[in-house]
Each structure stands twice: as structure tokens, then as C-alpha cells.
A and B are shown apart, each in its own frame.
Chain A
Amino acid sequence: MKYDVVIGLEVHVQIKTKSKMFCSCPASFGEEPNTSICPVCTGYPGVMPVPNYEAIKKTIIAGIMCGCEIPELSKFDRKSYFYPDMPKNYQITQYDLPFCQRGEIHIFGKGFSGNMMEEKYIHMTRIHLEEDVAKSVHFSTFSGIDYNRAGVPLMEIVSEPEISSADEAYAYLTTLKQIMQYAGISDCDMEKGQMRCDVNISLKPSGQIEFGTKIELKNLNSFRAIHRAINSEIERQQDILLSGGKLQQETRGWNDDRMTSYLMRVKESAHDYRYFPEPDLTPICFSKEDIENLKKELPELPEIKAKRFVSDYGLTEYDAAVITSEKNLADYFDDGAKKTSAPKILANWVISELLRELSNANISINEVKISSDDMAKLVNMISINTISGKIGKTVFAEMFETGKAPEEIVREKGLVQVSDEPEIESFVAKSIQENPMQVEQYKTGKTAVIQYFVGQVMKLSKGKANPQAVQKMLKSKLDA
């Protein structure tokens, strides 16, 4: 029996704003517990919410970037349930009139596992805005609640159950993250809880229309963990179904260290959240004109940017995808590319050298000491043969270390490539003189031995000789 996998993702993204959703407390991370709080976000008697329009604007921008419809009328609702992390025992969220409806995420190319994915659009049901809840911390004999997080603006992004593999889920999430970062909506740092994801997953016999029993996966702390958890869950469900077993609707937690999931709870009777419109807030209206104005402010979508890099800079699709995977990296490259006639070489340097060093140093592109200007200069020096590619690597290493400009390093260390004929000529002559055996070989037709001479000349010139010039001169001397 073959099974189809059906996955839906529910993603929560904290919106980057100065203050919380309904009060003026700072929406910061990592403060001492219960220091960024006020009567409003702790639900004191008599307080009222005041909406944060920056958060609303960013939600709408996220929606537009995901191709959502933005209804002219939206409103907030109350969702009731009792839990100590809920200051009011109801959450202000959106029920039937969210800010964004029906969007899509385009996925394509090579998946996380290395296999090619079928190009497709994953539809999203909606994006709505709500307030985050507080954080519970459990100690041995008691529990504590940190209300710093309570009231931080939170977007909930719900996908349709159209994802059919771990690779697709991974691609959906990275694309979503890219969009959020591109638009400055969120940094989507999962470790800081800025992005959280619940996975709903079920299997059904291939071709069957009705969905199978749905399992919810929680406690997923990285995209990698999500990929692993989905594959593990597909396997688990398949094993049960193939052995004639029956699945029960349940919520499972993922233990990434042990690479297994565990049962958290069997689905109790459905929660009754008793939604009703939030009477403390008036409905929010957006005219078509408001939306058009917001569209003018939109950043370029990563996918569009990648296409532009291919057409304008001659990058391969793969290189363009790597560079646009992160907005700051794409901007860095874009800036540099405008200042060089060899953007393709710049792309190679960024991908092979820069990204490797960033990863070794475990820092982000924002923290790199090399300016995009200097990176372009380095590439220019290589492309017009001021220095060789090999010297270039030495110069780059020092730039990465110190942030010095490449021309300064080259000048200080005397690394300028030697294309000057008399000087090269003396090295060439010396190499021919010192290696009679190789000369003999060349003369008997083993012309490939010329590379040996090139190596000798480079050694003599301490790498500064222009290899092309060397090769040309060697050839003329040896053929003479």
C-alpha cells in the first residue's frame, strides 16, 4: 500500500515592533522576568487595549508579500480559555475577519534532502494578528510566569494541507522566513521564539480523498528538526498503518536529541473558545488606496530579486538562490555588484569564500568587517589582473580579519601582480635554465609539462607573476 502524506503548517511569527500589541511596554527579548510589564499586559482590572498600528501594518505587508487578499474590514475578537499564561484569560486575536486571507508560497528547486522538488504553490488560508501569551517556567515545587512576552504582537500563518513532504515543509518555511526578513517583519529566530511552528500531519492511502487521522507535532525548535520530525512521523504512521494498526488523534512532542517523538496528549473534546468581537476595539478599515500605498513601500521579493540577479548580473540560478536566501546577504551582494564589471566573479567570491569564512567565524553578514565596496574592489583587482586569484585569497583573508581595504593590503605587502615583461622574462629564463630535463620532455612533445614551468615561475615570483603572461612567454621561449 502506498500512502499520500498530507501536511499543514501553523506558524507563529513575532512581529518586530518597539512596543507590544496593545500597550506601550517594550517588546524586547531577554530582559529580567516581569520587568517589561504594565497594568495592560498583565490584565489589571479596568485596563483597555490600544492597538499597535505598526504591527497591523507589518501584518498587512506580510500578507501582500504572500499574495493574500486584504479585506477592507477587519476586526479583533476575544478567544476565551483559562491558563495562567493568559493575563485576561482571553486572548485578543482575530476570528472571522483576519487582516489577510488566501495567499501562497512558491516552492521549487532542490529540497533540503538534496532531491529535486516538484515546483508548486502552497496556499495559505489566512494570516491573522494576535497578542502573544506569557511564558510559564516550571520549577520543582512551583511554577513561575514571565509576563514580558505577554502582549508581544504575534502573527499566525495557517497553510492549507497541501504540503506533501518534509522537503516541501522545509522549503515553505525557509521561503516564509525569507519574506519576513526581507520585509523587516521579523528576524524569525526560532531559538528566541520569534518563529514557532506546529505541524499537522496525516497519511491516506494513495488516491483516497478523505484525510486520515491527524497528528499534531509540537516542540519543534529548528527547520532541521521540523524536517527530521516530519520524516520520522511519516515513518511512524506508515508502520502503524501497514501493520494494520489504527492511529488516534493526538499531539506529539519532538525530542530532537533522541530523534523520536513522544505522546503529549490524546485529543480531548474540542475546546470551546467562545469567540466574540472584542468590544474594546473598533473594527479596522483599509481602503484600496491604503493597500496601494503600502504596496509602493514593499521590498523586492526574494524570488524576484533572484531573477534579477540572473538577468542583470549573469548569475546562475543556483548562485542567485544562495545569495538571495538571506536579505542582508542579497543586499550586500547587490551593493557590491553595482561597483564591479565582474558580478559573476563577485558572486563566486561571496559564495565560496565569504560564506565559508562567515560560517567558520560563526557570524552573520551584518557583522562582517569587509564592506561591500571593498569586496567589489578586490574582485576588480583580480579581474583586471592587478593581483592573481591566488594572491586574492591572501588579501581576502586579511580583509576578513582586519577590515582593511584591499589596495592598502596589496600595497603594504607588495603583492601587485607582475606583468612587466623584463622581470617575468628573467624568471622564465631562470626556470628553463634550471630544468633541462623538463625542457627535453617538452621538446619531445609532452607539452603539458609547461604547467611545471609555470609553477616554477610563480614560485620564483612569490606568486606575483601574471600566470597568463608567464605561460605565453614560456611557450614562445620553449618553442623557439
Chain B
Amino acid sequence: MNIDLKTLTISEASELLASGKISSVQLCSDYIERIEKIEPEIKAFVYFDKESVLKSAEESDIRRKKGEHFGSFDGIPVSVKDLICVKDQPCTCGSKMLKDVHSPYDATVVTRLKEKGFIIFGRNNMDEFAMGSTCENSSYYPTKNPWNLNRVPGGSSGGSAAAVAASEVPASLGSDTGGSVRQPAAFCGVVGLKPTYGRVSRYGLVAYASSLDQIGPIAKDVHDAAILLDMISGKDHLDSTSLDKEDVCFADVVKSAGNSLKGMKIGMPKEYYIEGALDESVFADIKQTEKLFKELGAEIVEVSLPHSKYALASYYIIATAEASANLARFDGIRYGHRSQDSNNLHELYLNSRKEGFGAEVKRRILLGTFVLSSGYHDAYYLKAQKVRTLIREDFNNAFKKCDLILSPISPCPPFEAGTLLDPLQMYLADIYTISVNLAGICGISVPSDIVKNLNVPLGIQLIGPAMGESKLLKAAKVFEDNRTIRKFVPNL
């Protein structure tokens, strides 16, 4: 049969494979064909090995024929952001620094996907070392927004979101340190989930800011995101910050979500909806969403997150401080870019890092080094940690009054490509997503509308408490079912 990739989800593909209507080879071949056709325009991938994908698909089909398949998702392709390690594949983090570096091991999420028969389909473009909100800070090329090629797909997991939106792959794993899964998902009209900190093992995720990083799925719909979360979450002995999984199947939670949000309290932080803070289209979308939630039976309550205004400053201190240490290992000694004209060790360090890193990465390393320096450490790093505690408490207090929080993802629709040149302006656009990382809680981005004159999608954010994914996914699913945007796909 012909497969309509544009709307195909993981759960549908799983049914088609189970019924024998399609094979994994056919599925993967169709995706490969689509990639070959549209990838030159989108540029969502940085690595793609057709041969190995087809080989894995053949193996999957053989397993299935023998009835030895690894569960119902065996043979379905999934791609990963270019900072998740896959054994023997390059893992460059979108950086020249790691251009020729291959991973000697699988990330835990990759191991878990492979164990279920998923085929690792390729590697998605990203802002270098996950530092950026546009996918333009890649050392390869900028990725385009599949809805409007003049707009950015968001970042840093822009390649993942664009690939899913353009139906080059049914789903992808991104990483979210300050909104890097949720914001590109919103910009590309797909679903992006940032799980609770510790829910998903970070082993094999090249660290940007270790206390904030979390791997999350980017998918066509909430159900697929839930399926992937089921696959990748749970305690991992290789990541001592990972958490035990409670006895719940998120995919089942989504399937039985129903069509009502009766009894659910949705909080709207008063600090988020001040005059002029939001683009008109975003404001209108939020108002419409609020209305829809009420119609679905939810109660809207006002909550307060009084320390929100310090979140951005606190985030850019903590994240860069951790990054300055995390990225110190890229020095040209053991692996990665090594400058060829250095006369001594000191020069080797300086030149390798000067040549290997892009401007935004250098900026953040410098910032992080500065805030940890003696004499400044207490005023910046320590203060930021205190603010972080207050922000966490803000959310704890808010969740005493509501089940979930409704918020925008970005204050504006996707930026025009090549226009966001002032880094501070770019940082400011993270305002609605970073608090979730600082608090270590979970958040999801669900497509909500299309800005007609720009032909770009918008997404709303639902935020849940720590380990509150069940509630979060349920509400996201009911919302998704009642928005019509689900039926729209980019015209490619």
C-alpha cells in the first residue's frame, strides 16, 4: 500500500507493520525517498547513512516474519539530535570542534530505542553545542522552517523539529536545556516534550548544562511523544541523577484521555501576561486556548510566579557556568579538532579552541568562566543558585493552586531567518521556557494555531509539576484533539 508519510505517526506505523500491510524496508525507503527530495531545502540532517538504515530495516522485517520482533515498534525509524551518542556514528554537536569524532558507545536512550527495534535513522542539525534558539548557530548550515523557508525552525533542536514537521522522519529525540525541544516544536507545528529532570537518562547526551539538560521527544502528536517517553525513561545506573520510573504507561494515559478536562485546574501566571510582553498573534492564541480549556471543563485560575523576572539572568549564569566546565574537555588533546600550528601546549589549547568553537559557544564559555571566577563567584553563581531555589518554590506554590500551568512557548512567532543577530535579544525569547528547566519540572509544547499572514505555526506550553507527566500528557492530548491544526501540515 501507499504510505502517507505526511500524517503518519509512530502508532499508525506500528499498526501497519503489525498487519503486514507495510514492511520496515518499505517504510524506511519511503522516508529515504522523501529526504532525498526535500532535504536540500530543509537541511534538517547532518548525518544520514542510507545503507545502514536499509540494512537495519531488512533485519527488522526478518525478525518480524519469524515472530521474533522486539515489540510493536520494531522497524520504525527515529532520528536523534546531533549530540546524542550512537555507537560508530559521528557525534559533532553541530560543531567543527567534533567534526571527525565518532562515538565509541550508545547513549542510554539509544540503547533503549534499539532494544525496542527502533531504527536510528540519522542525526539532526542543531545550534552548536545546543547554544541557540534558531538552528542558525550550526557549523554546517542553518535549518529551514518547513512551513516557511524564510523563517527559522527554532533551536537548538531545530533539525529534529524540522525533520518531523517535514515528515522526513516520524519522530526525533532532541534535548532541552532552556526550551530547546519545546520552542522548535512550537515553531515547526509539532509536539515537543521536556520531561522532569532525571526522568530520562543523560548518559550519552553531550552535556551543555548538566543540571538543566534533559532529553525529550519531538513527535507528530501527543500520543507518539508519550510512546517515546515510555521507551526512554526510567532509572539508569550510568546516570546517578536519573529517577525510578513509576508504574505507569504514558501511551495508555494518552489513549484513555477522553475528551474532557473537567476537574482540572489550569493556572495562568499573572507575570506572564503583562501588556506588551507578547506578540499580538501569541496573545490572541493564548486567549483562544484559555477559552477552549474552559469549554473543555477546566477551571482557569490565576497563579503567581513572583521571581519570574530573575529567571533569565539566573539561567544564563548557571547554564554558562556549567557549560564552561563541560566544554573544557574539547581541547584537541585526546580527540576533536587540533590546531596544526602551535609551538607549545598553551598555544595548542588556545588555537584548537579558537578554531573549533563558534562565536556563540565562545561567548557562553567566557560568560560561564567569568561568573565562576574568584571574586565574582558569590555575586553571580551563588546568587543565581539562590534565585533558582526561589523559582522552584514559586512553582511549588503555584501547583498548590492548580494542576498545570498554561503559558506561551515564545513571546513571538518564528523569527525571520538571519535577523536575530543580537544575542541578548535571542536570550530574551527564552523567557517562557527556561523556568521549567530551572525548576526541574516538565513541560510540553502543543501546536495551537497558524499565523495566517506568515504561514507559520504557533504552540502553547503546558507546564506540570515534577513527575507530573501523566496529567500533562492527558491535558495536552485533550487540547490537541480539540484544535484543528493537527490536520495541517507544511506544504512540501
The answer on a CB contact under 8 Å between B329 and A88 is yes
Q: Pick from A195-203, A209-217, A232-240, A271-279 the stretch touching chain B.
A: A271-279
Q: Tell me, in angstroms, the Cα distance from A49 to B240 when the chains sit together.
A: 8
Binary per-residue interface labels of chain A (85-97) against chain B in the complex, 1 for a CB within 8 Å, 0 otherwise: 0011110000000
The answer on a CB contact under 8 Å between A276 and B331 is no
Q: Tell me, in angstroms, the Cα distance from A280 to B345 when the chains sit together.
A: 29
Q: Tell me, in angstroms, the Cα distance from A474 to B294 when the chains sit together.
A: 122
Is B31 positioned at the interface, with any CB of A under 8 Å from its CB? no
Task: Report A-chain residues with C-beta under 8 Å of the C-beta of B207.
Answer: 46, 280
Q: Tell me, in angstroms, the Cα distance from A84 to B101 when the chains sit together.
A: 18
Q: Tell me, in angstroms, the Cα distance from A279 to B207 when the chains sit together.
A: 11
Q: Pick from A37-45, A181-189, A388-396, A399-407 the stretch touching chain B.
A: A37-45
Q: Tell me, in angstroms, the Cα distance from A275 to B207 when the chains sit together.
A: 18
Is A78 positioned at the interface, with any CB of B under 8 Å from its CB? yes
Closest to A271 in B: B374
Binary per-residue interface labels of chain B (324-357) against chain A in the complex, 1 for a CB within 8 Å, 0 otherwise: 1100111101110000000001000100000000
Closest to B350 in A: A82
Q: Tell me, in angstroms, the Cα distance from A44 to B101 when the chains sit together.
A: 10
Q: Tell me, in angstroms, the Cα distance from A285 to B308 when the chains sit together.
A: 31
Is B302 positioned at the interface, with any CB of A under 8 Å from its CB? no
The answer on a CB contact under 8 Å between B237 and A46 is no
Given A46-B207, A82-B328, A274-B373; A279-B322 close (CB under 8 Å) = yes
Task: Report A-chain residues with C-beta under 8 Å of the C-beta of B333.
Answer: 84, 145
Is A397 positioned at the interface, with any CB of B under 8 Å from its CB? no
The answer on a CB contact under 8 Å between A90 and B328 is yes
The answer on a CB contact under 8 Å between A50 and B334 is no
Is A348 positioned at the interface, with any CB of B under 8 Å from its CB? no
Given A42-B334, A276-B381; A48-B238 close (CB under 8 Å) = yes
Q: For residues 234 through 248 of chain B, which have their beta carbon under 8 Å from a beta carbon of chain A?
A: 237-241
Task: Report B-chain residues with C-beta under 8 Å of the C-beta of A276.
Answer: 321-322, 325, 372, 377, 381
Given A44-B104, A281-B241; A80-B325 close (CB under 8 Å) = yes
Q: Tell me, in angstroms, the Cα distance from A368 to B357 when the chains sit together.
A: 61
Closest to A81 in B: B328
Residue from A39, A87, A275 within 8 A of B104 (CB atoms): A39
Task: Report A-chain residues with C-beta under 8 Å of the C-beta of B321.
Answer: 276
Is A282 positioned at the interface, with any CB of B under 8 Å from its CB? yes
Residue from B205, B238, B328, B331 within 8 A of A80 (CB atoms): B328
Binary per-residue interface labels of chain A (272-297) against chain B in the complex, 1 for a CB within 8 Å, 0 otherwise: 10111001111000000000000000
Residue from A45, A48, A145, A281 within 8 A of B329 (CB atoms): A45
The answer on a CB contact under 8 Å between B204 and A281 is no
The answer on a CB contact under 8 Å between B203 and A89 is no
Q: For residues 374 through 430 of chain B, which have their beta carbon under 8 Å from a beta carbon of chain A?
A: 374, 377, 381
Task: Report B-chain residues with C-beta under 8 Å of the C-beta of A47.
Answer: 203-204
Residue from A39, A84, A88 within 8 A of B345 (CB atoms): A84
Is A455 positioned at the interface, with any CB of B under 8 Å from its CB? no
The answer on a CB contact under 8 Å between B206 and A274 is no
In the complex, what's the smallest C-beta–C-beta distance from A225 to chain B, in angstroms?
Answer: 29
Is A71 positioned at the interface, with any CB of B under 8 Å from its CB? no
Given A82-B331, A88-B329, A276-B381; A50-B238 close (CB under 8 Å) = yes
Task: Report B-chain residues with C-beta under 8 Å of the C-beta of A279.
Answer: 209-211, 241, 322
Task: Report A-chain residues with C-beta under 8 Å of the C-beta of B334.
Answer: 42-43, 87
Name B's interface SS. loop
In the complex, what's the smallest C-beta–C-beta distance from A139 to chain B, in angstroms?
Answer: 15
The answer on a CB contact under 8 Å between B104 and A48 is no
The answer on a CB contact under 8 Å between A46 and B210 is no
The answer on a CB contact under 8 Å between A280 and B241 is yes
Residue from A88, A145, A272 within 8 A of B374 (CB atoms): A272
Residue from A43, A45, A90 within 8 A of B91 (CB atoms): A45
Is B202 positioned at the interface, with any CB of A under 8 Å from its CB? yes
Is B32 positioned at the interface, with any CB of A under 8 Å from its CB? no
The answer on a CB contact under 8 Å between A82 and B240 is no
The answer on a CB contact under 8 Å between A46 and B85 is yes
Is A26 positioned at the interface, with any CB of B under 8 Å from its CB? no
Is A51 positioned at the interface, with any CB of B under 8 Å from its CB? yes
Task: Report B-chain residues with C-beta under 8 Å of the C-beta of A145.
Answer: 333
In the complex, what's the smallest C-beta–C-beta distance from B397 to chain A, in angstroms?
Answer: 24
The answer on a CB contact under 8 Å between B240 and A89 is no
The answer on a CB contact under 8 Å between B374 and A48 is no
Closest to B211 in A: A279
Is B131 positioned at the interface, with any CB of A under 8 Å from its CB? no
Closest to B369 in A: A274
Q: For residues 69 through 107 of chain A, which have their beta carbon under 8 Å from a beta carbon of chain B?
A: 78, 80, 82, 84, 87-90
The answer on a CB contact under 8 Å between B325 and A90 is yes
Q: For residues 450 through 471 of chain A, which have their beta carbon under 8 Å from a beta carbon of chain B?
A: none
In the complex, what's the smallest C-beta–C-beta distance from A328 to chain B, in angstroms?
Answer: 36
Is B165 positioned at the interface, with any CB of A under 8 Å from its CB? no
Binary per-residue interface labels of chain B (310-321) against chain A in the complex, 1 for a CB within 8 Å, 0 otherwise: 000000000001
The answer on a CB contact under 8 Å between A48 and B202 is yes
Tell which of A46, A49, A275 has the most Cβ of chain B within 10 Å: A46
Q: Tell me, in angstroms, the Cα distance from A9 to B190 when the chains sit together.
A: 61
Is B105 positioned at the interface, with any CB of A under 8 Å from its CB? yes
Q: Tell me, in angstroms, the Cα distance from A282 to B239 when the chains sit together.
A: 10
Q: For residues 185 through 210 of chain B, which have their beta carbon under 8 Å from a beta carbon of chain A?
A: 202-207, 209-210
Q: Tell me, in angstroms, the Cα distance from A87 to B328 when the chains sit together.
A: 9
Task: Report B-chain residues with C-beta under 8 Å of the C-beta of A82.
Answer: 328, 331, 349
Closest to A23 in B: B238
Q: For residues 216 through 257 of chain B, which have their beta carbon under 8 Å from a beta carbon of chain A?
A: 237-241
In the complex, what's the smallest C-beta–C-beta distance from B200 to chain A, in angstroms?
Answer: 13
Q: Tell me, in angstroms, the Cα distance from A89 to B372 when the chains sit together.
A: 15
Given A274-B377, A280-B210; A50-B328 close (CB under 8 Å) = no
The answer on a CB contact under 8 Å between B239 and A45 is no
In the complex, what's the smallest C-beta–C-beta distance from A155 to chain B, in angstroms?
Answer: 21
Task: Report B-chain residues with C-beta under 8 Å of the C-beta of A80.
Answer: 324-325, 328, 372
Q: Tell me, in angstroms, the Cα distance from A147 to B204 when the chains sit together.
A: 21
Q: Tell me, in angstroms, the Cα distance from A279 to B107 when the chains sit together.
A: 18
Closest to B98 in A: A45
Pick 11 A–B contacts, CB within 8 A, sort by A. Answer: A43-B329, A45-B103, A48-B203, A48-B239, A87-B334, A88-B325, A89-B325, A89-B328, A145-B333, A276-B325, A280-B241
**Which residues of chain B have a CB within 8 Å of any CB of chain A?**
83-85, 91, 93, 98, 101, 103-105, 107, 202-207, 209-211, 237-241, 321-322, 324-325, 328-331, 333-335, 345, 349, 369, 372-374, 377, 381
